[in-house]
Every structure is written in C-alpha cells, then in structure tokens.
Amino acid sequence: MADIDFDAEKQAALKRTGLNPKAKKGWRSFIWDHDTDQKSPEEQRLLVKLDMTILVYACLAEFLKLLDQQNLSNAYVSGLKTDINLDGNSYNVANALFSIGYAIGQIPGTLLLQKYRPHHVLPLFEVIWSIATFATAAVKTPGHLAACRFFVGLAEAPFFPGMLVTLAAWYTPAELGKRSSIFFVMAQVGSFFSGYLQAACYNLTGVGGLAGWRWLFIMDGVMSLPIALVGFFFFPDSPARARGWWMTPADKQLAVDRIARAGVGKNPGFFDWKLIKRAFSTWHWYLFVPGYVFFGLGTQAATTWFGVWLQAEGYSVYLRNIIPTFTNLVTLVAVLIWGWVSDYIENRPLIMIIAIIYGIFPLACLSVWDIPNGLKFFSYLTLGVEYITPLFFTWANEVNRQDDGVRSFIVASMNCAQYAMAAWVTILTLPASKAPKFSVGYQSCAAFNAIAVIIIAAIWYWDRRDKARALPEDSEIDPTIQGAEEGSEKDTKYLSE
C-alpha cells in the first residue's frame, strides 16, 4: 500500500523523531515502554499528555459503559421484576434488543470516526447511552424497558472498537499493547463494581419516592454524562486533525511524525464501495474476522459456570459469589502481563498463540470432568489466562495501519461478528440444562481455540511475507537517517506495514 509520498513522509519523520540508540535504559524502560529512554524529552512529555487525556478518558468511559451494561441484571433481582411485571420472556426480549442494537451499531458507528471528529462522535454516543440509562429509571412497562435497552446497546456499540482504532492512531507498536490492555481491563473492573453499586443504591429505596433499582440507573447516568462532557473538551481527535488547548503546535507536529515513523497511513473512508473494495481485496478481513470469532467462542466457557459447579458442590451462597471473582482477578492480571510483554518484544502473534494454547489445557481438564476437585479449581480459576482480546485488536490495527478506513472496518467487523456468533453458538455448545458438566461444550471450546491458533499462525505468515516483499522499497530510505531507523531495532520491524 505504500507509495512515494508516504515513504518520503516516513523518511522526514524519521529525521525529526529518530530514537537515540545510544541512550542508556533506565527503570522506566523496564516497567513501561521499552524505548522510553531512547525518546526525546519532548516525546516523553507528549506521551504523558496523551495518557492523561486519551487513555484516562477511554478507561473511565469503558468502566461506566460496563456498569450500564450490567445494571439490568442487578436491577432485575432488586425489585425491577415485580415493579413493572417483568416476566422471564420480557426480560429476555430486553436483553435481545440490547444485543441487536449492539450488533447493528458496530460497523457504521466505528466508521463515523473516519468522517467526523472523534471528540464529537465518541462523547456523543456516551451522551445518548447516558440519556437512555436515565430513561430506564422511569420505565413503567416491559415495552418501555425493551426500547431503552435497544438504544443503550446501539449507542454503546461503537465505543469499544472505535476507541481501539483511535488508540492505534496515536500510539506506536512499543506503546499500544499495554494501553489497549489497560483499556480492556476497565471492563472487568466495571463488572466488579456493578454489584457493589447496586447494593449501595438499594439502600436509597424510598428516597424521593423511588425504588432502589431506579436509583441504580440514575446513578449510572449521573456518572456517565460528565465523562462524556470531558471527552468533548479534552479528547484530541487524531494526529492528522489534532486539537486541544493542552497541545502546542510542536506537540501536534510531533504526534504526526511519531505515527509516520511507525508507518501509519492516511487513507480514511466512510462506508462506501471504495472502502468495501479495499477491505475485501486482500486477505486481512478473511483471516482476522474468523480468527477473532473462533477465539471468542473458545473463551465462552470462562464466564458463569464456576459458580454453578460450586453450588453443586454444596458451597454457601457467600462463597459461590466470592470465589469466582478470583477468576476475574487472574484474567485481569494475565491481560496486563500479555500487553506488557507483547509491547516489550513487539511480537503480538507469539504471545497470543502461547496464551491460547495454555487455554486449551484447563478446557481439556474440564472436558474429562472426573478429575480431582483441586484440578477443577485450578482449571476454572485460570480459564481467563487465554484472554488476549486487546492484543487481537491491537494486532489488527497494526497490520492494517496504512489504511485508516480498512482497519476501522476490520476491527468493527471482528467485534460485530464475534458478538453475533456467540449469541447462538453458545446456546448449542454450553446449554444451561447441562451445567456445570459440559463435556462436549468444553471440547468445542478447545477446538475453537485450536482453530484460532491455526488462523493466527496463518496471519503471522502472510504478514511476514508482505513485509518481506516490501523490504526493497524500505531499503531505499535516505542513508542520512539510517541511524535514526536503527535507534530501535524492534520499532523498525513495523515500518514496512
């Protein structure tokens, strides 16, 4: 995809922002970005600004988005069911409409970022889901609830893939994996706090004449709306259209140079035939989308069935609620470790394959089922070790980084396809009637993981092949900046992408 103008821009960027290969590595290079001490003081200050604005906003908004997603299940068992005569079928309809909205909003919502400024699009969607959350506090009938949940799902749909695309527009391969992982784990943190927030709101029952579950939706909206307003004023858009009172002209130029140095292209596109043609004319969509779908299906066993097994073993209600949270803790730690290590070695597929292959082990143990309880505990607790979701999206962004429109389309397609497939495949592979003994289900998840590993290996092979074919072009880089290129041997591996 590279052309003469793009190569010239990359050479100019290397002249201005080449890393210093002789810089001595300090402690920051070992606990944060491995090339921190090779960067200029100006670039280090810019990264702090980006982390304090883009990353902080992304994490807070994702945390609150998960609260808004989880609040219905908490409200259902806290009075919503009886107050609006919500039977089981109506509850399922509300969840289904949320899923429909979430699925259909993924691709068009994410591609809006290519046409309009992110500081308008992302906070606007957050405002919409905040308003829909407020409205849920006033529902009187199951129909009202279903309508509100549809709009919550529709508005929340573009945020996760859209934010991952935006992060990839600002950060280099040495920086992106850990930041995407931090963003992702905020969803886990949101799940942790959801139950505690409901417990606190339940104590507000009667205040203002409202039930506690209504206060839950009100408090979720009260927290989400201010964060959306912060995004309007602080979010810097993209390097090519950088804005924000906290960014100097030198910061804006440096941001553009950094991304050009990493090989990011400027080929935006909205949902038109040109974009469709570009997206489907290479192998990328055909491998990344099914690869992520199979990976996602392989992780479905790591969700809710630990507590069901504990119940069958006679554990108390308290322990059935507490013990499975350690699975989330293990998942959180594993996600962060994978992000840090993949940044340090700048090799996403190797880490992904290692994590997923490990995930096959606890699934194999559980599929046998007649094993010691200690091994079952270990298997359930470590099922989440294979979660490399942020790395999958990070890698898709990096491999397609020369075409903004295509990478946005592929990232949104990955999330949309996996969400749509999981909605019905898990009903077949992990039916609740067979809980917690899913011998066939665990075997199916292990098989999905094995297929995902094969597809990841294929992507790795074709990506390396494409890079090798592009080397003759990249070898013509001006020799006066060769030292800048060599400033970080790992960083230059991505220049030909």
Amino acid letter, residue 478: D
pLDDT of residue 46: 92
> Residue 364 has what pLDDT?
92
* pLDDT given for residue 306 in this prediction: 80
Pick the closest to residue 416 from 66, 103, 62 (CA basis): 103
Both tokens of residue 217? 């939706």
d(CA 114, CA 327): 37
d(CA 159, CA 61) in angstroms, rounded, equals: 9
Could you give all domains of the chain from N- to C-terminal order, each with its CATH number? 41-238 (1.20.1250.20), 273-470 (1.20.1250.20)
pLDDT in tens, the chain (497 residues): 444 354 555 555 555 555 665 666 666 767 777 777 788 889 989 999 999 999 999 999 999 888 888 788 778 877 888 888 888 778 888 888 898 899 899 988 888 888 888 888 999 999 999 999 999 999 999 999 999 999 999 999 999 999 999 998 899 888 999 999 999 998 778 777 776 776 777 778 888 888 888 998 998 889 999 999 888 888 888 887 888 788 899 998 998 888 888 766 665 555 577 888 888 999 999 999 999 999 999 888 766 678 778 888 888 867 776 788 788 888 899 999 999 999 998 899 999 999 999 999 999 999 888 899 899 999 999 988 999 999 999 999 999 988 888 888 999 999 999 988 887 887 788 776 677 777 788 899 999 999 999 999 999 999 999 988 876 544 444 433 333 444 444 443 333 33
Tens digit of each residue's pLDDT (9 = 90 or more) over 22-60: 666 666 767 777 777 788 889 989 999 999 999 999 999
pLDDT of residue 469: 85
CB 350 within 8 A of CB 364: no
Q: DSSP assignment of 12-28, as one string?
A: HHHHHH---TTPPP-TH
pLDDT at 432: 66
What local confidence, expressed as pLDDT, does residue 93 receive?
86
